[in-house]
Structure 1
Amino acid sequence: MEKQGFIHSLPFKLLVALAVGIGMGLALSGMENAVSHAILNIVVTVKYIAAQFISFCVPLIIIGFIAPSITRLGNNASRMLMVALFLAYVSSIGAAFFATFSGYTILPHLNINPDVDGLKELPEVVFQLSIPQIMPVMSALFLSVLLGLAAAWNNSKIITQALEEFQSIVLSIVTKFVIPVLPILIGTTFCTLAYEGTITKQLPIFLIIIIIVMIGHYIWLTLLYSVAGAYSKKNPMNIIKHYGPAYMTAVGTMSSAATLSVALECARKSEPTIREDMVDFGIPLFANIHLCGSVMTETFFVMAVSKMLYNEFPSVEKMILFCLLLGVFAIGAPGVPGGTVMASLGLITGVLGFDETGTALMLTIFALQDSFGTACNVTGDGALALILTGYAEKHGIHPQKLESVL
């Protein structure tokens, strides 16, 4: 298979859409004539229809990825698997709560002001093509959990296979329809923001927020490896010193799956600090379910975007619910670019109440920073594998070749 170049990747397409959208918005803002208003009417209408389509797909994405993930884990339940799931979930929600605390502490001191002066009015949507969701997003979430658990408990092979096929269908919808529509939504959103005058005043804040999130990644990795070293009574530096290639590969590929072979090689160089059987078992598993960096990125960004667009931070109650559910969504996130934020669109709209503009902003800034979040995910897998090694040794689980659960 021919390797996909950067110019064909989603982040590049989003960057192009962002640049074209901002350029068009600034140009239309300077023209102010009948032609510019006609073009702007088209842009606003296309943005509305694209947002309606993506909103319609959200419940399908939730059911298609959460329910099959639960059935797979239920069918392969074992002590080490449950420990691994617990570690991945705790790390993910821990990163989310850390980002939430940091957001409430840091963001009020940044100059995030949605009420900027001199904003222009956008025209009304010319053609409103409403596409209602098949069910509310929270209904889709609870249906996914109940359906997945019930299928696993009853060992329902037909339903399990049907859910697996449905996941493949939804993944095709995501890759063939949703992802190609994303640049359109991003371009039209930033065109309207540039026309209004919002984007030129808020761009420096975006850059500062991205730097803060990257610092948060390194803090969380330090904490993970410190806990892993203290629990296993082994030196975590024996792992960290080998993980440079995996980190850089993740930055370049923006994919845990594409980085897996390099991550396995780096982890094997850490033996015997990490046991060989724990490398073979833990690293591939964590590459799919441990997304601490992506979760941290998304949590901090939703707080910043909420303040930027709606002039308020989400309430503490909403953020607690968001963080707890985000850990579940991360485990079942689809293997596509920006999979974490894609799977959790229902939380962003249903729990936090974001509209299409907020959703588009989240998708854009997440995609632009996703490579560093992925690098944090991959590097953090080594710490969890070290904890698994410590658990196995403390509980008398002798080295063995564990079967893959993937």
Structure 2
Amino acid sequence: MGIKQLSSSLLFRVLVAIILGVVCSLFFPEWLARIFATFNGLFGNFLNFFVPVLIFALITPAIAGLGRGAGKWLGITTGIAYISTIISGFIAYGLSVWLYPILLKGQDLVAAVDIEKGAISPYFTVEMPAPFEVMSALLLAFAVGLAMTVVKSDTLYEAAQDLQRVVMKVIESFIIPLLPVFIYGMFLTLGMNGNLTHTLVTFAKVLILATVMTVLYVIAQYLLAGAVVGTNPFRALKNMLPAYATALGTSSSAATIPVTYQCARKNGVEANVAGFVIPLCATIHLAGSMMKIGLFAYSILYMTGTHLSPALAVGFILMLGITMIAAPGVPGGAIMAAVGLLQSMLGFDADQVALMIAAYIAIDSFGTAANVTGDGAIALLVNRFAKDQLPTTAGSSEAEVEENPQRENAK
């Protein structure tokens, strides 16, 4: 990887921001640190304003686009991908209930994330009220998206796609470039408030747990697919290793589509099935991302002493599985799409969101690798039942798949 390519990586920039934040916290004067605390307050308030708009703009055309697909196998494949994603979320919740009282016993994150009440406070804040609540945005997006699948209005659908492109441009050109500064300010303030070492050590445990669980979940997917299809799950998983390695290196589900397609074909998946399932699941199957977000979010709740009821956890998982389908085509897209639910359902503030984003991006490639490798297991299942019923689709050859306009790093 060249220096230019490395410097353009969001993961690289976030890691540099964390390191610089740690180092600068050792000698920065308070007056200078308060400048970054002020920026974080403004940026966090802008996120609160922008997230409902983001949710409506991204989810509406995503739902409408899925509804325009023909055939029952679109619904079945989408259903399998969604079930896989939410099962991952339930496992993450179960692990948090079982392991966190042991793994995070005695850990306290309240002081670490409550930046504005620490020694370093912003010079001023500017309130930025959202145009509507997050849940209102979700409900409106679902209602309009589903209505568009019935009305079949090309004009309305194109308008929704235009709004989606505008919002994604804001994300790509404004929010993502400023995220490293936001994370730098958070770690700078953590260090100057004396909570940095505690926070890093605590979150390291959760990062390791999340990485291990994404791998174990992929193995479980292939054990199930192998049992249903009647094939050796470990041989099938071995054939998918090139896709896993490619996703690990690129952190991009879109860039991995041609490799995932070839691996699925090597497992005996028909060309028309692979050409249909692999590009579709590159957008809608996010089991690895769900595992990471769930484990990180529940750890923050546990360490801040916030009780998460089973009913709220179930609602959060079900909603997150839908919301992440609209993950914007930028690095860390799934966590950006999840911000609204973290705030509205789990009560996260801007600093807790920043900590979530930093932790998520740190192992982003492992979640993406789990997502795309799991796509191969879904392809095996659909191939078992639908190989003679699916027409040849665009993307059923390597050349066509490479041209598939799926969103870069949707996972």
Report the TM-score when normalising by structure 1.
0.91
1:66-95 deviation digits (Å, cap 9, x = unpaired): 000011111114211001100110000000
Which consecutive residues of structure 2, in runs of 5 or more, have no partner in the other structure? 396-403, 407-411
* Paired residues of 2:38 and 2:124 also in contact (CA < 8 A): yes
Q: Residue in 2 aligned with 1:302? A: 297
SS for the counterpart of 1:26 is: coil
Q: Residue in 1 aligned with 2:65? A: 72
SS for the counterpart of 1:319 is: helix
Where does structure 1 differ by over 6 angstroms across 4 or more consecutive aligned residues?
Answer: none
SS for the counterpart of 1:372 is: helix
Q: Residue in 1 aligned with 2:74? A: 81
**Counterparts of 1:39 and 1:45, CA distance in 2:** 10
Q: Residue in 1 aligned with 2:230? A: 233
**Counterparts of 1:156 and 1:199, CA distance in 2:** 53
Match of 1:318 among 312, 315, 321: 312
Q: Residue in 2 aligned with 1:343? A: 337
Cα deviation for residue 269 of structure 1 reads 1.8
**Counterparts of 1:141 and 1:55, CA distance in 2:** 15
Q: Residue in 2 aligned with 1:250? A: 247
Q: Residue in 2 aligned with 1:372? A: 366
Q: Which structure 2 residues correspond to residues 270-309 of structure 1 after superposition, within 5 A?
A: 270-271=267-268, 274-308=269-303
* Paired residues of 1:263 and 1:283 also in contact (CA < 8 A): yes
Cα deviation for residue 398 of structure 1 reads 4.4
CA RMSD of aligned residues (A): 2.1
**Counterparts of 1:189 and 1:311, CA distance in 2:** 21
Match of 1:402 among 372, 375, 393: 393
Cα deviation for residue 178 of structure 1 reads 0.8
Cα deviation for residue 379 of structure 1 reads 0.6
Cα deviation for residue 26 of structure 1 reads 2.7
* Paired residues of 1:50 and 1:185 also in contact (CA < 8 A): yes
Q: Residue in 2 aligned with 1:361? A: 355
Aligned amino acid, residue 402 of structure 1: T
Cα deviation for residue 4 of structure 1 reads 6.8
**Counterparts of 2:378 and 2:15, CA distance in 1:** 34
Identity %: 35
**Counterparts of 1:90 and 1:77, CA distance in 2:** 21
Cα deviation for residue 331 of structure 1 reads 1.6
Which consecutive residues of structure 1, in runs of 5 or more, have no partner in the other structure? 29-35
Aligned amino acid, residue 297 of structure 1: K
Q: Residue in 1 aligned with 2:184? A: 187
* Paired residues of 2:109 and 2:300 also in contact (CA < 8 A): no
1:204-247 deviation digits (Å, cap 9, x = unpaired): 22222111112211221122112212222233334212112111
Given the alignment of the two structures, is residue 40 of structure 1 paired with residue 33 of structure 2, yes or no? yes
Greater mean deviation of Cα atoms: 354-363 or 260-269 = 260-269
* Paired residues of 1:303 and 1:313 also in contact (CA < 8 A): no
* Paired residues of 2:120 and 2:192 also in contact (CA < 8 A): no
* Paired residues of 1:293 and 1:376 also in contact (CA < 8 A): yes
Match of 2:84 among 91, 96, 110: 91
**Counterparts of 1:46 and 1:232, CA distance in 2:** 54
Q: Residue in 1 aligned with 2:98? A: 105
**Counterparts of 1:399 and 1:170, CA distance in 2:** 34
**Counterparts of 1:332 and 1:4, CA distance in 2:** 29
* Paired residues of 1:11 and 1:367 also in contact (CA < 8 A): yes
1:235-281 deviation digits (Å, cap 9, x = unpaired): 3334212112111111111110111121112222222xx22221111
Q: Structure 1 pair 338/155, CA: closer, same or farther in 2 (3 Å)?
A: same
Aligned amino acid, residue 336 of structure 2: M
Q: Residue in 1 aligned with 2:204? A: 207
* Paired residues of 2:219 and 2:237 also in contact (CA < 8 A): no
**Counterparts of 1:339 and 1:254, CA distance in 2:** 11
**Counterparts of 2:235 and 2:376, CA distance in 1:** 10
Q: Residue in 2 aligned with 1:161? A: 158
Given the alignment of the two structures, is residue 114 of structure 1 paired with residue 128 of structure 2, yes or no? no
SS for the counterpart of 1:107 is: helix
SS for the counterpart of 2:124 is: coil
Aligned amino acid, residue 387 of structure 1: L
Cα deviation for residue 137 of structure 1 reads 0.8
1:150-188 deviation digits (Å, cap 9, x = unpaired): 111111111111001111111101000110121111111
Q: Structure 1 pair 133/232, CA: closer, same or farther in 2 (3 Å)?
A: same
* Paired residues of 1:275 and 1:399 also in contact (CA < 8 A): no
Aligned amino acid, residue 219 of structure 2: T
**Counterparts of 2:195 and 2:302, CA distance in 1:** 13
* Paired residues of 1:232 and 1:391 also in contact (CA < 8 A): no
Given the alignment of the two structures, is residue 145 of structure 1 paired with residue 142 of structure 2, yes or no? yes
* Paired residues of 2:222 and 2:236 also in contact (CA < 8 A): no
Greater mean deviation of Cα atoms: 78-87 or 194-203 = 194-203
Greater mean deviation of Cα atoms: 123-132 or 100-109 = 123-132
* Paired residues of 1:349 and 1:355 also in contact (CA < 8 A): yes
Q: Which structure 2 residues correspond to residues 18-37 of structure 1 after superposition, within 5 A?
A: 18-28=18-28, 36-37=29-30
